[in-house]
Amino acid sequence: MLTLMAGSHVDPLTHQTVNNFLNKYTLLQMATDASGFAIMGVGATIVIIAGGIDLSVGAIYALAGVTMAMVLRAAGPMGTVPTVLLGLGTCIAVSLLCGLANGVMVIGLGVHSFIITLGTMWILRGLAFVTSQAESILVPNVLTNVVRAQMGLSEGLYPVPMLVMFVVTALGAVYLSRTVMGRHVFAVGGNPEASRYAGLNVKRVTLGVFVLSGLSAGIAAFLGAGFYGSSTSSDANGYELYVIASAVVGGASLSGGKGSAVSAMLGAMLIVVIRQAIRTLHLDQNYEWIIVGTAMILAVVIDQSGTKLLSRRLAAGRAASRSM
Amino acid sequence: MAGPAVRFSGITRRFPGVVALDDVSFDVAAGSCHAVCGENGAGKSTLGKILAGLLVPDAGTIELLGRAVRFSSPRDALQAGVAMVHQELALCENMTVAENLCLGAIPARHAFVSRRRLHQRARELLTAVGADTDPGRPMSGLTVAEQQRVQIAAAVGIGARVIVFDEPTSSLAEGEARQLYDLIGRLTASGVTVLYVSHRMHEIFRLCDAVTVLRDGRHVDTRPIDGLDEGAIVQMMIGRKLDQYFPAHVAGAPGGELLRVQGLTHPGRFEDVSFTVRAGEVVGLAGLVGAGRSEIAQALFGLDPDAAGTVHLGGARVRIRSPRHAMALGLGFVPEDRKRQGLVLSLLARENTTLPTLHRLSRRGWIERRREREVAEQFFTRLGVRQTLMEAATSALSGGNQQKLVLAKWLAADSRVLILDEPTRGVDVGAKAELHAWIDRLASSGVGILLISSELPELLNLSTRILVLRAGRLIGEVERERATQDRLLRLMTGLASTEAVA
């Protein structure tokens, strides 16, 4: 997602066009492309499991990105470590505040999160626009050097976004499966009333998931701005839908109570792979949206019918074993 | 009479992990009221749903008045003259009574709804079943009994020849249930065939001509009701002899006062309610549906911020702000509606058991999975739920097992005072006896219990004393020795004015 580059890849060493789908450049590039969707997809999955939805992640991404770029510009040239710390700190602080605002409004105003975050999607995008005055702001090279670190790989390969994606996914998975908060997220999404009757603090859980979703957008914004070397208020426009698509392709249920961080990452990868395949196979790029949309619906339908098929087989199996 | 109204032949239906119905065959005589009974999970509701077109059988055939039918939707069934009155109400709550009644055929003129004709038609249908509900009222404002009547009116209105009732009295008070029995009697007298799914013995004997017993999805027997007694049916249902439904209460001397409620008031719901619960006591709370029983329970559990009055727990005055706070004070609450309030059906059985106490089974926010397992195992064993169900989806468990999970939650939380709101509703005979034994055992171990129940025999057998509530006010307290069904009913309905020793 980070790039909307042409489909075929130019090998930096031989300067030949590589059209092979399964080469390390394409694979790593796809992982890099998927990283932003996947990182925000983990946040979105957590919100969706809790029974909510967050449409504002694209706008949080843009606001965090431009704020970071402006803060770094104002701070002037610094060493690598202070630049990264200040940049990441700014992104995280902005995104946490945005997530907190979403959460506070959802629980305080008693309005469905779809509406609240639809509102903040525009508000935050507007804030990004106003603060940056629609200007594209460069971020220091030292930051780009970190995000585009080669880590011993050959030229043209940038593994950092992918590695961060793996780490965020792992953290999300552990949060959901091993922590009390994670269990509470599943409970509240499954049945908020029963959760309240069981003594859970439903409001705190709701607040928490929006903060985490915001945070995931902040991390993605840091990587995106670093990777491209600049930020503008129109960054990540429309990404919220890709992010939600990643979560639901990964099996998250919009009615709450069901979902997985690892599957959300795989969902993001699937979407990027499909897009990449369209380019590699030289299909008419005008069909890209039609194919992505169809694939998303199919993926969810197959996932659902697969679950049904499996449970029916289990039923038949048990019936057979019982009659013996 | 010429042939059966309904003939089931070899009906089989599987669900994930269970065979709900296994080769079930029997006939239902035309114009009869035919009971289908069995424990929860025996497949009786599944059979009703298949007849009403809500479920499609995996194998087998249904003949309706001599003709083979195959319903793939409730619409098919309705067109063939089979309607169902649901256990969990299936009406559009946001619409009016009239709209619900005429949903299939709203009278219209050039696509515009004719309100006058709509209401007229609805009134006709309602009168036919002896209801005087205003057709313009929103469905959501009706009591369960009134909603049920609307469902029956709708069934009669489409000219249903067969009506399936799925445990229709499970949320009705005694008086309302009696009115329903009369109506069903009139229906069968007019030639309608009734398939009556229930496991309540007294209803079956009162209403039905024949009874079919299912056990574990298999057909045990179909017999005319004459010549059977309760014991025989129960024995067929559970496949073994059950000495007593209700084990005799082992009365111990009550201990110190655990809960004192004074002047609890929420205008319009309940007023000036005062009572105490001592350690080792089971205090029954009787009243008609709508008398404010559940509302009082909810107020005690911190779910009603507008309730006024004072509450003492273990001698200390408390102001319970939330369920979370109530729990911390040692209060447990088994709510009336286990699917909506009691359990998170999408979680695993184990996860529901430990939900309120998970923070105690964790270190710095990390779940200690071994301890969680141990606690769940311990309560599964104690309550007699198979260990293999621990990792099962809660939604796949039987009603009895689900109810045991709700109880297990609060046992795991070491509650000192337990409020039980209809703890055995929709639970089969075997599980009910086990739950009763548990309530008794808990009281003997020093827990104070407030028991709300619509089943008077349950209250009479378990309670140390019974408080009677009418229209939001406590109007009497009856000691165990003097409590009879008749006395309670008179107080609940207002035939007797007061019986005060509170």
Identify whether A120 is part of a domain: yes
Contact B16/A at CB under 8 A: yes
Identify whether A324 is part of a domain: no
Identify whether B230 is part of a domain: yes
Cα dihedral B244→B250→B254→B255 (10° resolution): -120
Number of folded domains that form chain A:
1
The chain A residue lying nearest B338, using CA atoms, is A194
* Pick from A189, A198, A316: CB nearest B356: A198
Of B84-88, B229-233, B335-339, B419-423, where does mean pLDDT reach its minimum?
A: B84-88
* Pick from A179, A197, A200: CB nearest B365: A179
The whole-angstrom distance between residue B105's C-alpha and the CA centroid of its chain comes to: 32
* Pick from A178, A184, A198: CB nearest B409: A198
pLDDT band at B252 (very low <50, low <70, confident <90, very high): low
The whole-angstrom distance between residue B1's C-alpha and the CA centroid of its chain comes to: 35
> Given this model, what pLDDT does residue B498 score?
61
pLDDT above 80 for B67: yes
> Given this model, what pLDDT does residue A233 score?
93
Contact A3/B at CB under 8 A: no
Q: Are residues B21 and B99 in the same domain?
A: yes
pLDDT above 60 for B119: yes
Identify whether A303 is part of a domain: yes
> Given this model, what pLDDT does residue A5 score?
38
Contact A6/B at CB under 8 A: no
Task: Give the side-chain half-sphere CA count within 13 A for B296.
Answer: 37
pLDDT in tens, A279-298: 888 888 788 888 888 888 88
Q: Provide mean pLDDT across the span B288-308.
A: 89
Cβ–Cβ below 8 Å for B333 and A178: no
Residue A256: which domain range? 2-319
Min Cα separation A257/chain B (Å): 6
Identify whether B432 is part of a domain: yes
Q: Are residues B49 and B112 in the same domain?
A: yes
* Pick from A178, A190, A191: CB nearest B367: A178
Last residue of a domain, one of B203, B238, B273: B238
What ipTM score was computed for the predicted complex, to two decimals?
0.78
**Cβ neighbours of B342 in A, within 8 Å:** 194, 197
> Given this model, what pLDDT does residue B241 score?
54
Q: Are residues B428 and B370 in the same domain?
A: no
Q: Burial code of B369-400, b = ≥16 C-beta within 10 A, e = fewer?
A: eeebeebbeebbeebebeeebbebebebbbbb
pLDDT above 70 for B499: no
pLDDT above 90 for B230: no
Determine the residue among A197, A253, A260 to mutate to test chain B binding: the one whose Cβ has the most chain B Cβ atoms within 10 Å. Answer: A197
Last residue of a domain, one of B414, B430, B450: B414
Distance CA B317, CA B313 (A): 6
Q: Are residues B395 and B443 in the same domain?
A: no
Q: Provide mean pLDDT across the span B402-414.
A: 89
Q: What is the CATH number of the domain that holds A305?
A: 1.10.3470
> Given this model, what pLDDT does residue A312 score?
57
pLDDT above 60 for A321: no
> Given this model, what pLDDT does residue B275 score?
94
> B174 or B365, which is more confident?
B365
pLDDT above 70 for A304: yes
Q: Are residues B407 and B310 in the same domain?
A: no
Contact A260/B at CB under 8 A: no
pLDDT in tens, A254-283: 888 999 999 999 999 998 988 888 888 888
Q: What is the CATH number of the domain that holds B26?
A: 3.40.50.300
Identify whether B375 is part of a domain: yes
Min Cα separation B307/chain A (Å): 17
Q: Are residues B368 and B432 in the same domain?
A: no
Identify whether B326 is part of a domain: yes
Q: Are residues B198 and B79 in the same domain?
A: yes
Residue B60: which domain range? 6-238
Determine the residue among B336, B346, B353 to mutate to test chain A binding: the one whose Cβ has the most chain A Cβ atoms within 10 Å. Answer: B346
Min Cα separation B427/chain A (Å): 19
**Cβ neighbours of B15 in A, within 8 Å:** 315
- Average pLDDT of chain B? 85
Residues 98-127 of A with CB under 8 A from B: none
Distance CA B211, CA B198 (A): 10
pLDDT above 70 for A16: no
Residues A224 and A69: beta-carbon distance below 8 Å:
no
Question: Tokens 């994606």 identify what position?
Answer: A165
pLDDT in tens, A116-165: 999 999 999 999 999 999 899 999 999 999 999 887 777 778 899 999 99
Q: Provide mean pLDDT across the span B145-155.
A: 85
- Average pLDDT of chain A? 86
> Given this model, what pLDDT does residue A184 score?
95
Please give the full DSSP string across A110-128, using - where no structure is assigned: ---HHHHHHHHHHHHHHHH
Cβ–Cβ below 8 Å for A184 and B17: no
Identify whether A98 is part of a domain: yes
Q: Provide mean pLDDT across the span B338-353.
A: 92
Residues A213 and A57: beta-carbon distance below 8 Å:
yes
Q: Are residues B61 and B205 in the same domain?
A: yes
* Pick from B15, B16, B323: CB nearest A199: B323
Identify whether B391 is part of a domain: yes
> Given this model, what pLDDT does residue A6 score?
37
Cβ–Cβ below 8 Å for B16 and A194: no
> B236 or B378, which is more confident?
B378
Number of folded domains that form chain B:
3
pLDDT above 50 for A7: no
Please list the alpha-helical segments (H only) found in B80-114. Answer: 97-101
Contact B183/A at CB under 8 A: no
Please list the alpha-helical segments (H only) found in B293-348. Answer: 293-300, 323-328
pLDDT band at A319 (very low <50, low <70, confident <90, very high): very low
pLDDT above 90 for A71: yes
Contact B378/A at CB under 8 A: no
Q: Are residues B224 and B269 in the same domain?
A: no
Q: Are residues B131 and B207 in the same domain?
A: yes
The chain A residue lying nearest B349, using CA atoms, is A187
Identify whether B486 is part of a domain: yes
Cβ–Cβ below 8 Å for B351 and A200: no
Pairing of strands A9-10, A17-18: antiparallel
* Pick from B15, B346, B356: CB nearest A199: B356
Cβ–Cβ below 8 Å for B323 and A196: yes
Q: Are residues B234 and B257 in the same domain?
A: no
Which 3 state secondary structure label does DSSP give B103? coil
Residues 390-429 of B with CB under 8 A from A: 409
Residue B455: Cβ-neighbour burial (10 angstroms; 0-12, 13-18, 19+): middle
**Cβ neighbours of A181 in B, within 8 Å:** 365
**Cβ neighbours of A193 in B, within 8 Å:** 340-341
Identify whether B245 is part of a domain: no
Contact B340/A at CB under 8 A: yes
Identify whether B337 is part of a domain: no
pLDDT in tens, B466-486: 999 988 899 889 888 888 877
Contact A184/B at CB under 8 A: yes
Contact B362/A at CB under 8 A: yes
The chain A residue lying nearest B322, using CA atoms, is A199
Q: Are residues B156 and B233 in the same domain?
A: yes
Last residue of a domain, one of B414, B436, B464: B414
Using alpha carbons, select from B198, B146, B190, B194 the residue that is nearest to residue B172: B146
